[in-house]
Structure 1
Amino acid sequence: MERGQQAPNNQALPNQIGRAPFEDTGSPLYLQNGDHPGLALVSQLLAGNNYNSWNRAMSIALTAKNKLVFVDGSLLRPKSNNLLFGAWIHCNGMVISWILNVVNLKITDILLYISTTSEILMDLRDRFHESNAPRIFQIKKLLTGLQQGSMDVNTYYTRLRTLWDELKDFQPVSVCNCGSMKEWMNYQNQECVMQFLMELNDSYAQIRAQILMMEPTPVISKVFSLVLQEESNVPYIKIS
């Protein structure tokens, strides 16, 4: 989006016949009764080094609120004589408040004088977005060193799954519908299963051996379920 760009007077927004966009529950200009400037849409504050995960969480939250169009710049600001100008300004200010509520105070001070949500997110991306290669390297290094140790099975699996999902987000999306794509997905699943089983504590050796004998290799969620069932019979040191 070009900064300062405005939408034409006749910019159309999807709405039900005979209803103004700010009265239509399907319009991005609609605000629910519970929407107010003090809302914290995500649980984590943006501190800088957690930009990638914070941005993902915010994108999901704003999509649920039907307000992502303010962030990506696809809903442009109407001209001041447009009937929708006031509603747009109102919603834009609301989304800015939601963003400021979930960033570190030191970062907030810099953002206060930026007038649109799309410019705020552009500024944050320019400053904190990590390029792919260093983050991929970091994720793979974390995966290599991750062992169950004193963690229970659920905590161990959750940490693995979080890293897997973030790593997957960096991978290019394939549009192939051929058999080779299915083979690739099966291979990826097998890799996850092996990594999960390899770093389980030795007390899970029996269930690990049983899973490795299964043909075909079960999906990782099934493997996790089988190991979780076994956990009640296996002592472990609980994290304090």
Structure 2
Amino acid sequence: MTDIPEGSGSTKEKDPTTPIDFDDPLYIHPSDNAVTSIITIKLFGNENYRLWRSAMIRGLKARNKLGFVDGTLTLNNTESSKSSKWERVNVVVCNWILGSISESIYASHVYSDKAEDIWNEFFEIYNKADGSIIFNIHQQINTLKQNGSPLSDYYNKLDSLWKEFDGLTSLTEFVCEAATKLSDHSKLMKLMQFLSGLDDTYNQVKSHILLLEPLPNVKSAFSILSREESLQKHGSLGVSSYFKTQVSAFNSKTNEFKRSQDQNRSRNQLQCKNGGIKGHSIDGCYKLIGYPKDFKSRNKNNNQKTGTFSMNSSSVGSNNVGSTVGSNNVGSNVHSESIHNSGIHYLTSEQYNKFLRLINEKSSSENVTAAGNMFNVKVKMTRSDNGTEFVNNQMNYFCIENGILHQTSYAYTPQQNGVVERKHRHILNVARSLLFQSGIPVKYWSDAILTSVFLINRMHSSVLNGLSPYELVFKRAPNFDHLRVFGCLCFAVKLNVSDKFSERAETCILLGYSADKKAYKGS
């Protein structure tokens, strides 16, 4: 046998120059060097230490160098043959850490030789979770507003504050019913904080989210709001902007109506000193400054030159039947003779009565007759304000013919007609709600008014001891099976369609209920 030389063995010893495996923490990739920045965040102090630490841990884990800062890979645990490589990697990690801090902090830690020492010093100095820091973060969460910024920026900022706050106030994890309730409460508070900071353009979407059952989490709410923001950004009419447009249009019409009322009221307060006529001052009196070319007088004396008919309500109930209109007082013959040759043709009381029957009196008499036939009652008295739709010749003749006493409230005293005023307000409130929730344009306000009256008559009221007006009148409970949402999508059947492959219905929008047919109204 051949003798084995002394010092030799069956296995080869590892060569110090043997390349290091890629999975070894001592391996440094060619792209990793001392001047490379592994994170984009710089440490400034207590205010962002937890954010910086979380980002640095992820960066070191990605390069398999976390053991140099958490104490799991020290020089004593490394083979002597690799000590030089450990020191080289340690210097690289130190430069990574020092390169991600501010200049003011850099000066006090640049002399440290080990990455672990720098890491532990930062933890001891800046990881201070006292009450002031928790208070500041909580205050930022509750006061953060969107203020026109993109929705994603607002959500990400709020989400980072939530996570930082949860890291400072983390509780021990339990698996029980109380822990589940605590988690649900935390999610609810985050949802309320997120919605409270949104801009007013999302009010309609917020209302929709809060009506959901069960309430969604913050991520689901953010997804719903993102779709709304996308619709607005790409020029489509989103929910909130659509309602805002409709509300603005409704408000503008209301403001115009108020301005016209104020102008009429101020004009009625003026009185001309020249002739004592109300409606203008002496500076604008046409009798003094001259009439314009397009002036049309509303005075009955001027109408005598036009050859048109003129009527006076004093003929109704006149004692001198067959006399000319306005001749129920002394001196009527002089009045008649003075206008006989003026070109104006007056009607007798009989002709005047026939004329009134032809002007919008048929429908009114039919309504009174229908009320008497359906409910076996007779209308004896009615009360209204002094609007011209109630105080006119047609209304006076109608009330006298049917034996109805027509009372009117005193001028500018709506309190005397309080029942009607309150009911009018109730109807308008319901009609506005129907228009706003459905998104129907304001031009369909009349359908909203009719639908609101239809619904109010069938709603139970505490004033009526839990009954509805419909039950008191018809002595039976109303049927609610046919009720539908105002403004919802509906389909109208197309009749007499010859093409077998053509549409059998067209899409419409529900606008209410028909009064004389068992059908819906749509457009």
TM-score calculated relative to the size of structure 1:
0.81
Using the TM superposition, name which of 193-202 and 41-50 deviates more: 41-50
Q: Is the 8 A contact 1:78 1:88 kept in 2?
A: no
Question: 1:46 maps to what in 2?
Answer: 43
* Deviation for aligned residue 1:209: 0.9
Give the Cα–Cα distance (whole angstroms) in 1 for the partners of residues 38 and 138 of structure 2: 29
Q: Name the CA shift for 1:81/1:192 in 2 (closer, same or farther; >3 Å).
A: closer
- Structure 1: segments with no counterpart, 5+ residues: 1-17, 236-240
Q: Is the 8 A contact 2:129 2:168 kept in 1?
A: no
Aligned structure 1 segments of 4 or more residues deviating by more than 6 angstroms: 18-22
Is residue 23 from structure 1 mapped to residue 20 from structure 2 by the alignment? yes
* Deviation for aligned residue 1:213: 1.3
Give the Cα–Cα distance (whole angstroms) in 2 for the partners of residues 19 and 160 of structure 1: 55
- Structure 2: segments with no counterpart, 5+ residues: 1-13, 233-237, 242-523
Q: Is the 8 A contact 1:78 1:84 kept in 2?
A: no
Query: CA RMSD for the aligned pairs?
Result: 2.5
Give the Cα–Cα distance (whole angstroms) in 2 for the partners of residues 94 and 211 of structure 1: 51
**Which residue of the other structure, out of 100, 103, 119, is the alignment partner of 2:101?**
103
Relative contact order (alpha carbons < 8 A, sep ≥ 6): 1 or 2 greater? 1
TM-score calculated relative to the size of structure 2:
0.39
* Deviation for aligned residue 1:94: 0.9
2:91 alignment partner, SS class: helix
Larger Rg: 2
Give the partner amino acid of 1:120. I
Question: 1:5 maps to what in 2?
Answer: none
Question: 2:135 maps to what in 1?
Answer: 137
Q: Is the 8 A contact 2:35 2:96 kept in 1?
A: yes
Give the Cα–Cα distance (whole angstroms) in 1 for the partners of residues 221 and 130 of structure 2: 30
2:117 alignment partner, SS class: helix
Q: Is the 8 A contact 1:45 1:54 kept in 2?
A: yes
Per-residue displacement from partner, 1:43-99 (whole Å, max 9, x unpaired)? 122222432322222122112222111111222212797123122112111100111
Pairing of 1:155-174 with structure 2 (within 5 A):
155-174=153-172
* Deviation for aligned residue 1:27: 2.8
Q: Name the CA shift for 1:19/1:167 in 2 (closer, same or farther; >3 Å).
A: farther
* Deviation for aligned residue 1:22: 7.3
* Deviation for aligned residue 1:114: 0.8
Q: Name the CA shift for 1:174/1:123 in 2 (closer, same or farther; >3 Å).
A: closer
Per-residue displacement from partner, 1:163-197 (whole Å, max 9, x unpaired)? 00111112335332334333322222111111111
**Which residue of the other structure, out of 60, 63, 82, is the alignment partner of 1:62?**
60
Is residue 216 from structure 1 mapped to residue 214 from structure 2 by the alignment? yes
Question: 1:196 maps to what in 2?
Answer: 194
Give the Cα–Cα distance (whole angstroms) in 1 for the partners of residues 70 and 37 of structure 2: 20
Per-residue displacement from partner, 1:109-161 (whole Å, max 9, x unpaired)? 32222110111122223333333422211100111211122222111111111
% identical equivalent positions: 28
